[in-house]
Amino acid sequence: MHQRNQRQALSQAYLIREHTMNEVINPEKPETTTNNFIHRLIDEDLSKGRYQEIVTRFPPEPNGYLHLGHLKSIVLNFGTAERYGGRCNLRFDDTNPLKEDREYIEAMKRDIKWLGYHWDGLFHASDYFEQLYAWAVKLIKEGKAYVDSLSADEIREYRGNLSEPGKESPYRNRSVEKNLALFEAMRRGEFKEGEHVLRAKIDMASGNINFRDPVMYRILHATHPHTGDTWCIYPSYDWAHGQSDYLEGISHSLCTIEFSNHNPLYEWFLEAIEAKSPRTYQTEFAPLIISYILFSKRNLKRLVEEGYVSGWDDPRLPTIAGMRRRGYTPKGLKDFVEDVGVDRSESVIELSRFEYFIRQDLNKTSQRLMAVLEPIKVTLSNYPEDLVEEFEAVNNHEDLSAGTRKVPFSRELYIEREDFAENPPKGFFRLAPGAEVRLMHAYYITCQEIIKDEAGNITELRCTYDPETRGGDSPDKRKVKGTLHWVSARHALDAEVRLYERLFNKENPKDVEEGQDFTANLNPDSLRVMGGVKLEPSTLTFPDDTHYQFLRKGYFIKDPDSTAAKLVFNRTIDLKDTWAKLQKK
Ligand code: ATP
Ligand code: MG
């Protein structure tokens, strides 16, 4: 409880800092029960009896892998349904067959399940193509839609801009009969791509550009991942989205603020199809933006396709698949998103705040182990040659129910090369000539001799151990300042370890000089591979998806590249916590 309060206080402090910078909320204002304005809206809708049931949907376009940005929308949509005992659908917004792929659909389902969410209905916008077509015909008959034969360039030019009204297309006043005949012929595949489009007939002079006769259908002779070759005309996002929401009985259609100025069009279409109450309405929230992280499937796709990363699940990517492989946990990710909350004003969240929640969860759940990343050999000259002892080590101090494990100890050990200094600087409390340190769980040892090769590199440290200090404490209360992790050489497993740094050097990866793009900000040192790492033998006894804390080295998880012959581990994150430190200042 205490920890939770502390955490809340910390994040509160952080929120206030971020928000006062944007002058969005008054820090003096008493804390509301939720940091999610949409929940407040829903509470009001329910209290006024506007809806009987809360129904949401998560509507990704299957044109790439889901990322941390989507997680905000996933948590919001699925979490809101859970909170109000309602339903949440997963709907693939598959209106553009040129960019969409089955692989993405399957990956998205896998990722959502991994996060621990279950959709009530699984739909595709393409499930509604027939109904959308019927409604389009209705709009044509009522003079609310027409077939336009301008080229795409001309349509753009006629649309005008923010300071100039648009111009009406010369085809705008075709007769209903002509429009119907053309639209049916479009569907039959009688035209080439770009020859015609169907547009809603609204207002070419509207201040809202989305009202300037938005395109409802375009011709695409493409095979669709879901409907195959049934269709060669495809609805636009605006025409498909609200109607799909309506057909599924969605009560609250939640999307990011770039869709704010589509909201009136969303309403216009629902009005035009004579949607019945209680009908869906759209509410916009601020997208998740985090320093040093680049979202957007389009950009991530470039990184994948141009080989900057190893694939969509590269542990450096903010994709759900990459984050899973890296070892982030669903709980850590969701806790972070919940803490950020949902409001309308955009702000950049610091990466350290994200990392704080990842560490919080891993600290509570990870299996402790000793692993030596850059080994140097230690020989205990007074330890019997054939003796092997086993020390009992606690698996997780934060969760004693995780039990203990046995760690073998013998005459030859590995310790971390950086835990030894031949000429120790002031304040260096680890091993040095003549210095005594504790080997975790085991004995005190003292360095007696340094062995070097011909080139002068240290190859071995000869030490003595004090048998009286078994278990890591000395009966005469002799103090040592350093406690080192170690692995018994004879029992050690060899492994490769992959260490990750941020993928981008700049807080805003898109902040580039003219003529450059975000790839100019890629960090050339984002991946470091280390071979010859030594692990405790018990590593092999844990399931593949175990999260580890390699003591003093960070959190790790086994990578799927591991084989029987070669173990590979990813470092999820190191142990330092700059965000918590920042709060203490
Ligand atoms: P991308 O640009 O990465 O393709 P998108 O917005 O086009 O993102 P969709 O697949 O259309 O992606 O999005 C599914 C849902 O996820 C939408 O409701 C969208 O608003 C939401 N979403 C996408 N990015 C973010 C983000 N950074 N923060 C919050 N929600 C997001
Ligand atoms: Mg998109």
> Three-state SS across 60-124?
CCCCCCCEHHHHHHHHHHHHHHHHCCCEEEEEECCCCCCCCCHHHHHHHHHHHHHCCCCCCCEEE
Q: What is the per-residue pLDDT for 472? A: 86
Q: What is the per-residue pLDDT for 18? A: 35
pTM for the structure as a whole: 0.91
In angstroms, what is the span from residue 69 Cα to ligand 1's centroid? 6
Q: Taking a C-beta distance cutoff of 8 angstroms, is the pair 64, 298 a contact?
A: yes
In angstroms, what is the span from residue 222 Cα to ligand 1's centroid? 24
Tell me: pLDDT of 265 over 70. Answer: yes
488-499: average pLDDT: 98
Question: Nearest bound ligand to CA 72?
Answer: 1
- Strand order, beta sheet including 493-500: 367-369, 547-550, 554-558, 567-573, 493-500, 527-535, 371-372
Tell me: pLDDT of 236 over 60. Answer: yes
Please state the atom number of ligand 1 nearest to the C-alpha of residue 59: 14
Does residue 507 line the site of ligand 1, with CB under 6 A? no
Does residue 256 line the site of ligand 1, with CB under 6 A? yes
Tell me: pLDDT of 23 over 90. Answer: no
64-85: average pLDDT: 98
Instruction: State the pLDDT confidence band at 172, using cuts at 50, 70 and 90.
Output: very high
DSSP 225-285: TTTBTS-SEEE-HHHHHHHHHHHTT-SEEEEEGGGGGGHHHHHHHHHHTTPPSS--EEEEE
What are the tokens at 340? Answer: 């950020």
In angstroms, what is the span from residue 534 Cα to ligand 2's centroid? 44
Residue whose CA is at the smallest distance from ligand 1 atom 4: 297
Please state the atom number of ligand 1 nearest to the C-alpha of residue 287: 28
Does residue 259 line the site of ligand 1, with CB under 6 A? no
Strand partners, 420: 431
pLDDT, tens digit, 9 for 90 and up, residues 438-481: 999 999 999 999 999 999 999 999 999 999 999 988 899 899 98
In angstroms, what is the span from residue 387 Cα to ligand 1's centroid? 60
Does residue 288 line the site of ligand 1, with CB under 6 A? yes
Question: Nearest bound ligand to CA 300?
Answer: 1
Does residue 73 line the site of ligand 1, with CB under 6 A? yes
Q: Taking a C-beta distance cutoff of 8 angstroms, is the pair 450, 459 a contact?
A: no
What's the CA gap between 549 and 514, in Å, rounded?
43
Residue whose CA is at the smallest distance from ligand 1 atom 12: 60
Q: What is the per-residue pLDDT for 523? A: 97
Residue whose CA is at the smallest distance from ligand 1 atom 23: 70
pLDDT, tens digit, 9 for 90 and up, residues 106-134: 999 999 999 999 999 999 999 999 999 99
Instruction: State the pLDDT confidence band at 34, using cuts at 50, 70 and 90.
Output: confident
Does residue 353 line the site of ligand 1, with CB under 6 A? no
Does residue 91 line the site of ligand 1, with CB under 6 A? no
Question: Nearest bound ligand to CA 64?
Answer: 1
pLDDT, tens digit, 9 for 90 and up, residues 79-113: 999 999 999 999 999 999 999 889 999 999 999 99
Instruction: State the pLDDT confidence band at 576, using cuts at 50, 70 and 90.
Output: confident
Question: Between 584 and 340, where is the model more confident?
Answer: 340
Q: What is the per-residue pLDDT for 261? A: 95
Q: Element (H or E) spanning 548, and its range?
A: strand 547-550
Question: Nearest bound ligand to CA 59?
Answer: 1
What's the CA gap between 137 and 579, in Å, rounded?
57
Substitution site in 77, 256, 319, 344 for ligand 1 pocket (most atoms within 8 Å of beta carbon): 256
Q: Taking a C-beta distance cutoff of 8 angstroms, is the pair 207, 264 a contact?
A: no
Residue whose CA is at the smallest distance from ligand 1 atom 27: 69
384-390: average pLDDT: 97
What's the CA gap between 11 and 417, in Å, rounded?
38
Q: What is the per-residue pLDDT for 580? A: 65
Residue whose CA is at the smallest distance from ligand 1 atom 13: 60
In angstroms, what is the span from residue 533 Cα to ligand 2's centroid? 42
Q: What is the per-residue pLDDT for 349? A: 96
Q: What is the per-residue pLDDT for 581? A: 64
205-229: average pLDDT: 96
Q: What is the per-residue pLDDT for 584? A: 59
In angstroms, what is the span from residue 296 Cα to ligand 2's centroid? 7
Tell me: pLDDT of 577 over 60. Answer: yes
How far is residue 510 from each of residues 83, 305, 397, 517, 530, measured CA to CA in Å?
A: 36, 19, 42, 7, 31
Question: Between 8 and 310, where is the model more confident?
Answer: 310
Q: Element (H or E) spanning 43, and its range?
A: helix 37-47
In angstroms, what is the span from residue 254 Cα to ligand 1's centroid? 11
Counting residues of the chain whose pLDDT is more than 70, the rounded percentage is 93
In angstroms, what is the span from residue 263 Cα to ligand 2's centroid? 17
In angstroms, what is the span from residue 114 Cα to ligand 2's centroid? 22
Q: What is the DSSP letter of 447?
A: E
Which residues have a Cβ under 8 Å from the Cβ of 121 and sit 6 or more positions away? 87, 89, 90, 91, 248
Q: What is the per-residue pLDDT for 26? A: 38
DSSP 489-525: GGGPEEEEEEEE--SBSSSSTT---TT--GGGGB-TT
Q: What is the per-residue pLDDT for 100? A: 87
Which residues have a Cβ under 8 Å from the Cβ of 28 and sit 6 or more positions away? none
Instruction: State the pLDDT confidence band at 28, using cuts at 50, 70 and 90.
Output: very low
Least confident segment among 17-26, 217-226, 273-282, 525-534: 17-26
Residue whose CA is at the smallest distance from ligand 1 atom 15: 60
What's the CA gap between 218 and 262, in Å, rounded?
19
pLDDT, tens digit, 9 for 90 and up, residues 311-353: 999 999 999 999 999 999 999 999 999 999 999 999 999 999 9
What are the tokens at 203? Answer: 């207002």
In angstroms, what is the span from residue 300 Cα to ligand 1's centroid? 13
Tell me: pLDDT of 170 over 60. Answer: yes
260-284: average pLDDT: 97
In angstroms, what is the span from residue 281 Cα to ligand 2's centroid? 21
Substitution site in 63, 66, 70 for ligand 1 pocket (most atoms within 8 Å of beta carbon): 70
Q: What is the CA radius of gyration of the chain?
A: 31
Tell me: pLDDT of 33 over 80. Answer: no
Does residue 60 line the site of ligand 1, with CB under 6 A? yes
Tell me: pLDDT of 512 over 80. Answer: yes
564-585: average pLDDT: 81
Q: Element (H or E) spanning 90, and its range?
A: strand 87-92
Question: Between 564 and 263, where is the model more confident?
Answer: 263
What are the tokens at 117? Answer: 């969410």
pLDDT, tens digit, 9 for 90 and up, residues 358-382: 999 999 999 999 999 999 999 999 9
Please state the atom number of ligand 1 nearest to the C-alpha of residue 288: 28
In angstroms, what is the span from residue 256 Cα to ligand 2's centroid? 11
Residue whose CA is at the smallest distance from ligand 1 atom 28: 287
